[in-house]
Structure 1
Amino acid sequence: MSRLTITLSEPRYRALKEAAAQRNKTIGQLIDESLDFYGIKSREQALDLVRRARARSVLSEEQALTLAQEEVRAVRHAS
Protein backbone atom coordinates (compact mmCIF):
# COMPACT_ATOMS: atom_id res chain seq x y z
CA MET A 1 0.00 0.00 0.00
CA SER A 2 1.38 3.42 -0.92
CA ARG A 3 1.22 6.56 1.18
CA LEU A 4 0.18 9.97 -0.08
CA THR A 5 0.41 13.41 1.46
CA ILE A 6 -2.10 16.04 0.36
CA THR A 7 -2.80 19.57 1.49
CA LEU A 8 -6.39 20.50 2.31
CA SER A 9 -7.92 23.60 3.78
CA GLU A 10 -8.81 23.21 7.44
CA PRO A 11 -12.59 23.28 6.76
CA ARG A 12 -12.22 20.63 4.01
CA TYR A 13 -10.10 18.44 6.31
CA ARG A 14 -12.66 18.71 9.13
CA ALA A 15 -15.49 17.86 6.73
CA LEU A 16 -13.59 14.83 5.43
CA LYS A 17 -12.77 13.69 8.96
CA GLU A 18 -16.43 14.05 10.01
CA ALA A 19 -17.68 12.20 6.92
CA ALA A 20 -15.28 9.33 7.60
CA ALA A 21 -16.36 9.14 11.25
CA GLN A 22 -20.06 9.18 10.32
CA ARG A 23 -19.47 6.24 7.99
CA ASN A 24 -17.25 4.41 10.49
CA LYS A 25 -14.35 4.48 8.02
CA THR A 26 -10.87 5.90 7.90
CA ILE A 27 -10.13 8.93 5.76
CA GLY A 28 -8.05 6.67 3.51
CA GLN A 29 -10.96 4.26 3.04
CA LEU A 30 -13.29 7.13 2.21
CA ILE A 31 -10.88 8.52 -0.38
CA ASP A 32 -10.30 5.07 -1.88
CA GLU A 33 -14.06 4.51 -2.22
CA SER A 34 -14.43 7.94 -3.81
CA LEU A 35 -11.76 7.11 -6.38
CA ASP A 36 -13.60 3.88 -7.21
CA PHE A 37 -16.85 5.83 -7.55
CA TYR A 38 -15.23 8.23 -10.03
CA GLY A 39 -13.77 5.36 -12.03
CA ILE A 40 -10.13 6.02 -11.19
CA LYS A 41 -8.42 2.75 -12.07
CA SER A 42 -4.92 1.49 -12.62
CA ARG A 43 -3.92 0.75 -16.20
CA GLU A 44 -4.16 -2.98 -15.44
CA GLN A 45 -7.70 -2.61 -14.07
CA ALA A 46 -8.78 -0.52 -17.07
CA LEU A 47 -7.34 -3.02 -19.56
CA ASP A 48 -9.04 -5.89 -17.74
CA LEU A 49 -12.34 -4.01 -17.84
CA VAL A 50 -11.97 -3.46 -21.60
CA ARG A 51 -11.10 -7.14 -22.16
CA ARG A 52 -14.16 -8.29 -20.21
CA ALA A 53 -16.43 -5.83 -22.00
CA ARG A 54 -15.16 -6.93 -25.42
CA ALA A 55 -15.71 -10.57 -24.56
CA ARG A 56 -19.38 -9.88 -23.71
CA SER A 57 -20.11 -7.35 -26.42
CA VAL A 58 -22.38 -7.97 -29.37
CA LEU A 59 -21.44 -4.62 -30.91
CA SER A 60 -19.01 -4.20 -33.75
CA GLU A 61 -15.92 -2.11 -33.05
CA GLU A 62 -17.47 0.79 -34.99
CA GLN A 63 -20.73 0.57 -33.04
CA ALA A 64 -18.86 0.44 -29.75
CA LEU A 65 -16.76 3.48 -30.68
CA THR A 66 -19.86 5.44 -31.69
CA LEU A 67 -21.59 4.55 -28.43
CA ALA A 68 -18.52 5.54 -26.41
CA GLN A 69 -18.31 8.89 -28.19
CA GLU A 70 -22.00 9.57 -27.54
CA GLU A 71 -21.56 8.78 -23.85
CA VAL A 72 -18.55 11.08 -23.55
CA ARG A 73 -20.48 13.90 -25.23
CA ALA A 74 -23.42 13.36 -22.90
CA VAL A 75 -21.22 13.49 -19.81
CA ARG A 76 -19.43 16.62 -21.03
CA HIS A 77 -22.73 18.31 -21.89
CA ALA A 78 -24.12 17.53 -18.43
CA SER A 79 -21.23 19.20 -16.61
Structure 2
Amino acid sequence: MSDYLEMSLEQLQKEHAELLAFNEKLDRERNGYRKYAMKYAKKVQMIESLFVVPSDDHELTIKAIKTIVERVGES
Protein backbone atom coordinates (compact mmCIF):
# COMPACT_ATOMS: atom_id res chain seq x y z
CA MET A 1 0.00 0.00 0.00
CA SER A 2 1.26 3.46 -0.86
CA ASP A 3 2.25 5.94 1.75
CA TYR A 4 -0.35 8.64 1.23
CA LEU A 5 1.85 11.33 2.78
CA GLU A 6 4.37 10.92 -0.03
CA MET A 7 1.84 10.90 -2.89
CA SER A 8 1.37 13.88 -5.19
CA LEU A 9 -1.98 15.63 -5.48
CA GLU A 10 -2.54 13.96 -8.85
CA GLN A 11 -1.85 10.52 -7.37
CA LEU A 12 -4.18 11.22 -4.44
CA GLN A 13 -6.93 12.39 -6.80
CA LYS A 14 -6.51 9.25 -8.89
CA GLU A 15 -6.63 7.06 -5.78
CA HIS A 16 -9.75 8.91 -4.62
CA ALA A 17 -11.48 8.44 -7.99
CA GLU A 18 -10.65 4.72 -7.94
CA LEU A 19 -12.06 4.36 -4.44
CA LEU A 20 -15.25 6.18 -5.43
CA ALA A 21 -15.69 3.91 -8.45
CA PHE A 22 -15.08 0.84 -6.30
CA ASN A 23 -17.64 2.00 -3.72
CA GLU A 24 -20.23 2.68 -6.44
CA LYS A 25 -19.69 -0.84 -7.79
CA LEU A 26 -20.15 -2.31 -4.31
CA ASP A 27 -23.32 -0.26 -3.79
CA ARG A 28 -24.81 -1.54 -7.06
CA GLU A 29 -23.97 -5.13 -6.13
CA ARG A 30 -25.41 -4.71 -2.63
CA ASN A 31 -28.62 -3.24 -4.01
CA GLY A 32 -28.94 -6.17 -6.41
CA TYR A 33 -28.49 -8.66 -3.59
CA ARG A 34 -30.95 -6.73 -1.42
CA LYS A 35 -33.58 -6.91 -4.17
CA TYR A 36 -32.89 -10.64 -4.59
CA ALA A 37 -33.19 -11.24 -0.83
CA MET A 38 -36.45 -9.30 -0.63
CA LYS A 39 -37.92 -11.42 -3.43
CA TYR A 40 -37.13 -14.64 -1.58
CA ALA A 41 -38.27 -13.24 1.76
CA LYS A 42 -41.66 -12.52 0.14
CA LYS A 43 -41.83 -16.09 -1.17
CA VAL A 44 -41.01 -17.53 2.25
CA GLN A 45 -43.57 -15.28 3.93
CA MET A 46 -46.29 -16.37 1.50
CA ILE A 47 -45.42 -20.06 1.92
CA GLU A 48 -45.43 -19.67 5.72
CA SER A 49 -48.90 -18.12 5.54
CA LEU A 50 -50.21 -21.33 3.96
CA PHE A 51 -49.52 -23.17 7.22
CA VAL A 52 -51.37 -20.81 9.57
CA VAL A 53 -54.52 -22.85 9.07
CA PRO A 54 -53.75 -26.54 8.58
CA SER A 55 -55.14 -27.93 5.35
CA ASP A 56 -56.26 -31.44 4.61
CA ASP A 57 -55.73 -30.87 0.91
CA HIS A 58 -51.99 -31.49 0.62
CA GLU A 59 -52.02 -31.47 -3.17
CA LEU A 60 -53.54 -27.99 -3.19
CA THR A 61 -50.93 -26.83 -0.67
CA ILE A 62 -48.12 -28.21 -2.83
CA LYS A 63 -49.63 -26.55 -5.90
CA ALA A 64 -49.84 -23.23 -4.05
CA ILE A 65 -46.20 -23.52 -2.95
CA LYS A 66 -45.07 -24.29 -6.51
CA THR A 67 -47.02 -21.28 -7.81
CA ILE A 68 -45.45 -19.00 -5.20
CA VAL A 69 -41.94 -20.26 -5.98
CA GLU A 70 -42.42 -19.89 -9.72
CA ARG A 71 -44.22 -16.56 -9.89
CA VAL A 72 -43.80 -14.31 -6.85
CA GLY A 73 -41.20 -11.61 -7.43
CA GLU A 74 -40.35 -12.79 -10.93
CA SER A 75 -41.76 -9.83 -12.82
Give the structure-2-normalised TM-score.
Answer: 0.31
Kindly indicate which of the two structures has a greater share of residues assigned to helix. Answer: 2
From the CA coordinates, give the structure whose radius of gyration is larger: 2
Relative contact order higher in (CA < 8 Å, ≥ 6 apart)? 2
Give the structure-1-normalised TM-score.
Answer: 0.30
